[in-house]
Chain A
């Protein structure tokens, strides 16, 4: 398991060993030059400059750089390689563990103000940006969470309203005083979550929707959030075998429409960009697609091959326009040898007809394993004006990431595609272990993608323009879902734990991690728009001051170099 925050695919141990050798030679300039090298990052530079500033030797070559950033260098805020470990997850165990010093309290801890402790260790600085709990209003415990496709809205099912003052439903709940213990226990066992907290991130606004009165029998069965648009939030209500999708108005807190999916529903997918809700009807082996705007319904027979059953299909992904669909076959269902199918939902010309299906076998694609998860993304590039490309990323059981470009599938018949041209490999990771509960998320504005699986225990952040690994973040808990929000500057994570229905939501400040992982020379004034908001979030962190000073210094040097 990767325990440390890492940038790129290469470990830092090499550069740290070289720096240590230079330190023993008392070569301050050499250390700084090494820390400025392309394989270094800003964390390393900060650590080196701080140690040089505190040390007896003054650098000659990099004197200007040291002088510029010196006021922001603080031993207490250095985030060293050791300090970049994951925060502890077992805070609860610590609470209930017997403490030795409890009967003899230490008097130097008298009247310590909350959050203003005298000691500030390195990992605590990093904790201001990595897995921040309680950043969102309410208590940040959610049963289910979703974000809008463009990352400006966030919604989660919870028990605590966004405001501290009790709202109408909470007041009503508090008024029910239960006389006996038996009744109280009975009430504890029933699901009492009845709020959807909605957070608009641009401009910031937060409010709560009350499910009581809006959704009939909301506390029976289970509720799950499927997606959130500008005006509606979509909830999946499962009661026994029957499934219903409710659309709840964001501003009026009213049930606007409901789609009854019937009993035999298999995998389902909501595409808000394509305004389509699609699901597999296991009884008739068809893919049913319904338009969210017109409620028009279309069915496509799945033409299943021998040995393949509708109940084996475990995941659907729809392209943003709603014209192509990818259906994954569960890797556990091996009889048919089929790994996935492609289905065309909208036809183009004579070559590509709507309803065309093709199932792909493992053998023809030269694959050993099936796929656990699939995610669709639009490739974005700000520098090259290329036609927008839609890509399916597939997370394999063998921990490899593969991609299919939808662009190529659009205008040709699916039957005409050569199997070996279909998939391209993004990355194979080492290790014999199979992937466990892989999760994926795609950014909406930046070319970023995040993946997580329980074996690594780390979130990997990818650049989708060239499929390179940007950073890997060790995660202290298992992750249920990942969401890019707020112009892809924040990664919202809902953790999952066995036997719990409500889990905490944490926020990771990606801008901080991406800036800190840059080569020291590439941090210029262009990055100030990323650093400034972070200073509003954590004004006391000296590391941000360091980044700002370094960016201004680099910008100045670059201007001097040009003439």
Chain B
């Protein structure tokens, strides 16, 4: 039996793989999707975002109530959906996912801090193109070190805004770095000097 309300795409992520599964396998499938197949923190964030979906929550509540009635779940399941959501995230989600949910904002901060380090390194004259430059660093994460185009990733890190950078980090193309301000300056200066 097909579930009447299939999950719509959330943040561009396709959940159509759930359609072929029975309802009771949804939650484990989502978890494995989030934890194993797409184990980057972006995708974990998406699974947690999915918990904001009302249909998904109702579904989860229904399962929880059934489990409570069957006696496999000892705690009381809240009826109010908003209260249920909080309870669900606190009780039902595995500990590490819960920590991730809190860490998701911390990770954004980490990205911003990382950019600060990169900008400072850049200002201090760090040369991303010299041999073994990344292996000698202690603070930049392995993600950049093992990136296929580490120097480009580093330059992108320093020059791109967060949004463009995350597109690039997920394998998107390198966006244009914009016009060179020095060129603009010289064009105006040369025009005045003539």
> Does B105 lie at the interface of the complex (its beta carbon under 8 Å from any beta carbon of A)?
yes
Question: In the complex, what distance in Å separates the CA atom of A441 from the CA atom of B183?
Answer: 24
Contact of B158 among A95, A114, A529 (CB under 8 A): A114
Could you tell me how many residues of chain B have their Cβ less than 8 Å away from some Cβ of chain A?
Answer: 47
Q: Is the CB of A92 within 8 A of B162?
A: no
Nearest to A113 among chain B residues (CB) is B161
Most central of B174, B177, B180 by chain A CB within 10 Å: B180
Q: Is the CB of A95 within 8 A of B124?
A: yes
Identify the stretch in A71-79, A135-143, A271-279 within 8 Å (CB) of chain B at 4 or more residues.
Answer: A135-143
Interface positions of B from 152 to 193, Cβ below 8 Å from A: 152, 155, 158-162, 174, 177, 180-190, 192-193
Q: Is the CB of A537 within 8 A of B124?
A: no
Distance in angstroms from A227 CB to nearest chain B CB is 21
Nearest to A534 among chain B residues (CB) is B185
Identify the stretch in A10-18, A99-107, A308-316, A552-560 within 8 Å (CB) of chain B at 4 or more residues.
Answer: A99-107
> Does B78 lie at the interface of the complex (its beta carbon under 8 Å from any beta carbon of A)?
no
Nearest to A529 among chain B residues (CB) is B192
Question: In the complex, what distance in Å separates the CA atom of A137 from the CA atom of B182?
Answer: 9
Question: In the complex, what distance in Å separates the CA atom of A137 from the CA atom of B155?
Answer: 12
Question: In the complex, what distance in Å separates the CA atom of A561 from the CA atom of B115?
Answer: 55
Identify the stretch in A28-36, A184-192, A258-266, A459-467 within 8 Å (CB) of chain B at 4 or more residues.
Answer: A184-192
Distance in angstroms from A399 CB to nearest chain B CB is 29
Interface positions of A from 496 to 510, Cβ below 8 Å from B: 502-504, 507
Contact with B along A154-183 (1 / 0, CB 8 A): 000001100010000010000000000000
Q: Is the CB of B127 within 8 A of A95?
A: no
Nearest to B156 among chain A residues (CB) is A164
Contact flag A91-B127 (CB < 8 Å), given A107-B109, A114-B159, A114-B160? no
Interface positions of A from 188 to 204, Cβ below 8 Å from B: 188, 192, 201-204
Contact with A along B115-145 (1 / 0, CB 8 A): 1010111111111111110000011000000
Nearest to A103 among chain B residues (CB) is B106
Q: Is the CB of A202 within 8 A of B190?
A: yes
> Does A1 lie at the interface of the complex (its beta carbon under 8 Å from any beta carbon of B)?
no
Nearest to B158 among chain A residues (CB) is A114
Question: In the complex, what distance in Å separates the CA atom of A553 from the CA atom of B138?
Answer: 54
Interface positions of A from 117 to 138, Cβ below 8 Å from B: 133-137
Q: Is the CB of B189 within 8 A of A136?
A: no
Chain B residues lying within 8 Å of A503, measured Cβ to Cβ, are: 125
Question: In the complex, what distance in Å separates the CA atom of A96 from the CA atom of B136?
Answer: 12
Q: Is the CB of A135 within 8 A of B109?
A: no
| Number of chain A interface residues as a range | 35 or more
Q: Is the CB of B112 within 8 A of A110?
A: yes
> Does B32 lie at the interface of the complex (its beta carbon under 8 Å from any beta carbon of A)?
no
> Does A386 lie at the interface of the complex (its beta carbon under 8 Å from any beta carbon of B)?
no
Q: Is the CB of A204 within 8 A of B186?
A: yes
> Does A562 lie at the interface of the complex (its beta carbon under 8 Å from any beta carbon of B)?
no
Interface positions of A from 80 to 96, Cβ below 8 Å from B: 91-92, 94-96
Q: Is the CB of A170 within 8 A of B129?
A: yes
Question: In the complex, what distance in Å separates the CA atom of A164 from the CA atom of B154?
Answer: 11
Question: In the complex, what distance in Å separates the CA atom of A139 from the CA atom of B127?
Answer: 7
Q: Is the CB of A110 within 8 A of B108?
A: yes
Question: In the complex, what distance in Å separates the CA atom of A121 from the CA atom of B124?
Answer: 20
Chain A residues lying within 8 Å of B131, measured Cβ to Cβ, are: 184, 187-188, 192
> Does A387 lie at the interface of the complex (its beta carbon under 8 Å from any beta carbon of B)?
no
Q: Is the CB of B109 within 8 A of A137?
A: no
Contact of A95 among B121, B129, B130, B188 (CB under 8 A): B121
Q: Is the CB of B158 within 8 A of A486?
A: no
Question: In the complex, what distance in Å separates the CA atom of A503 from the CA atom of B132?
Answer: 18
Distance in angstroms from A524 CB to nearest chain B CB is 16
Contact flag A91-B112 (CB < 8 Å), given A159-B130, A487-B189? no
Question: In the complex, what distance in Å separates the CA atom of A102 from the CA atom of B154?
Answer: 21
Chain B residues lying within 8 Å of A134, measured Cβ to Cβ, are: 122-123
Question: In the complex, what distance in Å separates the CA atom of A504 from the CA atom of B122?
Answer: 10
Nearest to A152 among chain B residues (CB) is B190
Chain A residues lying within 8 Å of B155, measured Cβ to Cβ, are: 164
> Does A489 lie at the interface of the complex (its beta carbon under 8 Å from any beta carbon of B)?
yes
Q: Is the CB of A92 within 8 A of B124?
A: yes
Q: Is the CB of A487 within 8 A of B193?
A: yes
Q: Is the CB of B124 within 8 A of A91?
A: yes
Contact with B along A526-563 (1 / 0, CB 8 A): 00010011111110000000000000000000000000
Contact of B139 among A95, A160, A535 (CB under 8 A): A95
Nearest to A202 among chain B residues (CB) is B190
Q: Is the CB of B184 within 8 A of A537?
A: yes
Question: In the complex, what distance in Å separates the CA atom of A153 from the CA atom of B161?
Answer: 32
Q: Is the CB of A533 within 8 A of B109?
A: no
> Does B91 lie at the interface of the complex (its beta carbon under 8 Å from any beta carbon of A)?
no
Distance in angstroms from A97 CB to nearest chain B CB is 11
> Does A112 lie at the interface of the complex (its beta carbon under 8 Å from any beta carbon of B)?
yes
Distance in angstroms from B76 CB to nearest chain A CB is 33
Q: Is the CB of A107 within 8 A of B105?
A: yes
Nearest to A92 among chain B residues (CB) is B124
> Does B67 lie at the interface of the complex (its beta carbon under 8 Å from any beta carbon of A)?
no
Q: Is the CB of B119 within 8 A of A114?
A: yes
Q: Is the CB of B192 within 8 A of A532?
A: yes
Chain A residues lying within 8 Å of B152, measured Cβ to Cβ, are: 164
Distance in angstroms from B159 CB to nearest chain A CB is 7
Q: Is the CB of B132 within 8 A of A184?
A: yes
Distance in angstroms from B71 CB to nearest chain A CB is 42
Distance in angstroms from B75 CB to nearest chain A CB is 31
Question: In the complex, what distance in Å separates the CA atom of A507 from the CA atom of B185?
Answer: 13
Q: List 19 A-B contacts (CB under 8 A).
A: A95-B139, A109-B109, A113-B161, A114-B158, A133-B123, A133-B125, A134-B123, A135-B182, A136-B182, A139-B128, A140-B125, A160-B127, A164-B174, A170-B129, A184-B132, A187-B131, A486-B189, A533-B189, A537-B184
Other CB < 8 Å A-B pairs besides A135-B181, A160-B127, A536-B184, 6 of them?
A92-B124, A105-B109, A109-B112, A204-B182, A486-B186, A502-B125
